Structure 1
């Protein structure tokens, strides 16, 4: 059974759009993952610096345009919670990237299949 040229064009256009969208979204997700990785590294470095300080050292955190003296245990708690939040974000981005990669591959294989079978 042969598909009409009009239907074939519409099918190719839909699959092409889906493939392009998945590719674009995958690029965005990879950029977000790179940003989150940098943030994670910054948190690790900050935590190691804070942990190396004596417990009675004055530590200041930026709040808007001012700095507030914060006890080291509070800073450590904040760093730990931000690290956990980043881990969750990275896990979600990994899932999203996996889904988009599969969508992209499926669209690509569908396009190839239609092009191979479209001429008959």
Structure 2
């Protein structure tokens, strides 16, 4: 049984567009993974610095900007125990690790989708 040319062209076009979308998503996902990995490195560096501090060290954390005058932005800080900061950084590190794992799974799925799309196109053109 032979597929008409119009139907074959439509099918190839759909598969090509699916492969193109997958390629775009691959680029986006790779940049997201790189960003999350930078965050992980920053957290590890911060934890390394904080771990060398004595437990009674006063640490300040930025809590945001407050504008008291129209042209003056002031950064506000709150004191934080060293243990609290360590716990907070540990939690953030674990959260980011989970996000990177999910992104890597998505990347694998997208790469497989793109590869399969290309193989289907080649297979249809060879079978023609």
TM-score, normalization: structure 2?
0.89
Counting helix residues as a fraction of each chain, which structure ranks higher? 1
Instruction: Give the Cα–Cα distance (whole angstroms) in 2 for the partners of residues 97 and 91 of structure 1.
Output: 10
1:16-55 correspondence to structure 2 within 5 Å? 16-55=16-55
Instruction: Give the Cα–Cα distance (whole angstroms) in 1 for the partners of residues 16 and 84 of structure 2.
Output: 51
- Give the match for residue 13 of structure 2: 13
How many residues are paired up?
118
- Give the match for residue 58 of structure 1: 58
Instruction: Give the Cα–Cα distance (whole angstroms) in 2 for the partners of residues 18 and 48 of structure 1.
Output: 45
Structure 2 runs not aligned, ≥5 long? 66-75
Instruction: Give the Cα–Cα distance (whole angstroms) in 2 for the partners of residues 111 and 67 of structure 1.
Output: 58
3-state SS of 2:86 partner: helix
Root-mean-square deviation (CA, aligned residues, Å) is: 0.8
Counting strand residues as a fraction of each chain, which structure ranks higher? 2
Higher relative contact order (CA 8 A, sep 6+): 1
Shift of 1:2: 2.5
TM-score, normalization: structure 1?
0.95
Instruction: Give the Cα–Cα distance (whole angstroms) in 2 for the partners of residues 111 and 27 of structure 1.
Output: 22
- Give the match for residue 117 of structure 2: 107
3-state SS of 1:3 partner: coil
Corresponding position: 1:83 with 2:93: yes
Shift of 1:3: 1.8
Instruction: Give the Cα–Cα distance (whole angstroms) in 2 for the partners of residues 19 and 105 of structure 1.
Output: 8
